[in-house]
Structure 1
C-alpha cells in the first residue's frame, strides 16, 4: 500500500486513512512489516532500451515512481517480451530483434508511465489532489476503475 504523504511527513497514519473508512476498517489492528520510508523524486530516464547487444529491462529501462506498484510486473513483462523477440541464435545481428523488443515494450511502458506521472503530479499538489480525490469519490465505481486501469499496466 502506498500513501501520498505531506513533504514533512507530519500526518499520522490514522489521520491519512481517515478519508477512507472502509480501508481503515480492513487495516484495523494490522501491524507494519517495516518502518515508514520514503524518498524521491525517483524518476530515471533511459535514452534507449537497447544498444547493439544489450537490452535494458525493469527499472533500468525507465522508471517514473513506485506510486503504482508496477515495477516487478513491468520487469517480468519486459523479460518475456525480450525472450519472445530474440532469435535462438544469439550470434547473429540482434539489432532487428532489439528494435522489435523496444517497439513492443513502448506501449506497455506508456500504460504505466502516463498514470504514474499523473499520480506523482497529484502527490505534489495538495489542493489539486483533494479536488481529484473528492471528484473520484463522488462517482460510484470511479476509484476502482482507476485502480484497475493502473493495475493493467
Structure 2
C-alpha cells in the first residue's frame, strides 16, 4: 500500500521517499482479485497491470452454487508480484525516491517526524498487517494475557498457492468447505491462484481435496511456487493518526479477507490520507467512511462463517440471489 500512497502523493506534487527493505517485486498471501472499484482507482493513477478479467463472484458448495456478475464493469485477477511491479514502475516514473531500508526508529517531532535520522513533514505507515511501526507509535491496543481457548480457535489465517492450469471461469469462485473458504482467482491465461482462509492448522491440499468439484479442476495441475501464509488476519488500531503519522492499509486495522476487498479499501485509504495530511481528524473521518461497509459486512460474514450457522451461507445465498447480488455490488464499488 506504500507504493499506492506514493503515487497519489506524487500526483499531488509532494516530495516522496519510500522505505522498502525487500528487493524485487514483493509477494504475499492474498486472493489477488481486484474488485471493479480497486481497478478503477488503479487506472486513475495510470496503473493498468495485466491479468485476467473477473466478471463476478460465485459462491459454491457441494449443495450447489450462486453466481453474480458485476453490473457495470469487470474486475481483474492480477498476480501480486505483477501488481507490485506496476505500482513500483509508476512510483519511479513520477519521481519518488525508493530507498532499500526498513523504518526501525520512528520519533514524532514538533514539526513532523524523524525516521532513522531522516526528517519529514509527514509519515504514512504502510508496513502491513502486523505493523511494527503501529506498535512503536502506541496505536496498537494493549495485549491482555489469555490462555489458549475458544478465542484462539476463532483466529483465522490465509494460505495461497498458484497452479499452472487454464482458468475454467471468469468468476472468482469461493468454495465453502467444512471449516474454510477457498478462493479461486484466474490471474493469467494459464495460471490460477488458490487462497484458503480458515483456522490455525488449515492445510491447503487437504482442504482442496475435500472439495470434489475444485479438486477435479486442479487434478494434474502443477504448482507454480510455494504455499505462502499470513495471519492471524484480525488486526486493530486504537487510532489511525498520531502527530504527523497516518496508518494506511492493513497497518490501520484489518477484519478478514473473506469479502475480497482489501485492496480497494487500502487504495481508498491511501487517497484519503494524502488528501488530509494536515488534518488528523479529517483523516479519521475519511478512514471510517472508506472502511465502513467493509468493516460491517466482513465482520457480519465472518461471525456467520465461524458459527454453527456456517452450512447455511450458500443455501441462503441461493434462495436470495437478489440479496447476494446487492452485497456483491456494494463491495465491488
TM-score, length basis structure 1? 0.69
Partner of 2:311: 130
Which of 208, 214, 217 matches 1:28? 217
Per-residue CA deviations over 1:68-116 (Å, capped at 9, x if unaligned) read 2222222211111122223xxxxxxx3xx12111111212212111111
CA gap 1:32/1:151 in 2 versus in 1, 3 angstroms:
farther
More strand by share: 2
Q: Deviations over 1:34-60 (max 9, x none)?
A: 555555542111110001111110011
Work out the CA distance in 2 between the residues paired with 1:31 and 1:139. Answer: 37
Distance 1:41 1:28, change over 3 A: same
Structure 2 unmatched runs, 5+: 1-182, 184-194
Structure 1 segments unaligned to the other structure (5+ residues): 19-23, 87-93
Greater fraction helix: 1
Assess if the C-alpha contact under 8 Å between 1:81 and 1:105 holds in 2.
Answer: yes
What is the TM-score when the length of structure 2 is the normalising length?
A: 0.35
What is the aligned length? 136
Question: Which residue of structure 1 lines up, in the alignment, with residue 211 of structure 2?
Answer: 16
The change in CA–CA distance for 1:34 and 1:70 in structure 2 (over 3 A counts) is: farther
After superposition, give the CA deviation of every residue in 1:11-52 in whole Å (9 maximum; x if it has no partner): 54264375xxxxx6xx93576555555555421111100011
2:282 corresponds, among 97, 100, 112, to 100
Ranked by relative contact order (alpha carbons within 8 Å, sequence separation 6 or more), the top structure is: 2
**Counterpart of 1:110?**
292
**Cα distance in 1 for residues equivalent to 2:223 and 2:324:** 25
Look up the match of 1:148.
329
